[in-house]
Structure 1
Amino acid sequence: MASGWANDDAVNEQINSTIEDAIARARGEIPRGESLYECEECGAPIPQARREAIPGVRLCILVSRRKIYKNQLIQDIIAEVRKTASYVNYNWRDV
């Protein structure tokens, strides 16, 4: 095997590490503590039902949905770019 090429174990370790980092980052974004009465971004009131349903909530539903939509849009764009710029299907012998 040519030097410089990662073996399958190294690739799997990198994938697992990336997944673990994403999980840790997501857990870090979970609200903690006391819920706010007003959205920290727009100042809109946060209804009592939302504060009870999501302990530590900091955003109103509109800001929260906007952030979710924006993130999904970014993920869709990234997925589309990966389709056109992926080297996954290439074998080093093909080069």
Structure 2
Amino acid sequence: MASGWANDSAVQEQIDATIDDAIARARNQMTQGESAAFCDECGDPISVARQKAVPGVRYCLNCQEVIDKKNNTFSGYNRRGSKDSQLR
């Protein structure tokens, strides 16, 4: 297939790079270390059960849900594939 100046594997290389970037972002978001006793965002206490369930947790459940909701949009679409204009 003619592709101009790009080599034949350029599309696959772009796909691989996109996947590698997504994996790196996911690894950077993983918590580690000692859990916080109080939320870094609002200052509310973090339950002991949450601290044990998520090692290195930094946010209470309410703040984490808000953060996750903001982070789960990609190019203006939520994970279900529908347009999510409220998070922009």
| TM-score range for the pair, normalised by the shorter chain length | 0.7 to 0.9
Question: In the alignment, does 2:57 pair up with 1:57?
Answer: yes
Gaps of 5+ in 1: 82-95
Structure 1 segments of 4+ aligned residues over 3 angstroms from their partners: 78-81
Distance 1:26 1:14 in 2: 18
In structure 1, distance between residues paired with 2:74 and 2:26:
15
Q: Which has the larger radius of gyration?
A: 1
* Separation of aligned partners in 2, 1:18 and 1:76: 14
Aligned-partner SS, 1:77: coil
Percent identity, aligned pairs only, is 46
**In the comparison of the two structures, how many residue pairs are matched?**
79
Q: In structure 1, what is the Cα distance between the partners aligned to 2:34 and 2:26?
A: 19
Q: CA deviation at 1:19?
A: 0.6
How far apart are the structure 1 equivalents of 2:3 and 2:29? 42
Question: Whose helix proportion is higher, 1 or 2?
Answer: 1
> RMSD in angstroms over aligned alpha carbons?
2.2
User: Do structure 1's residue 75 and structure 2's residue 74 form an aligned pair?
Assistant: yes
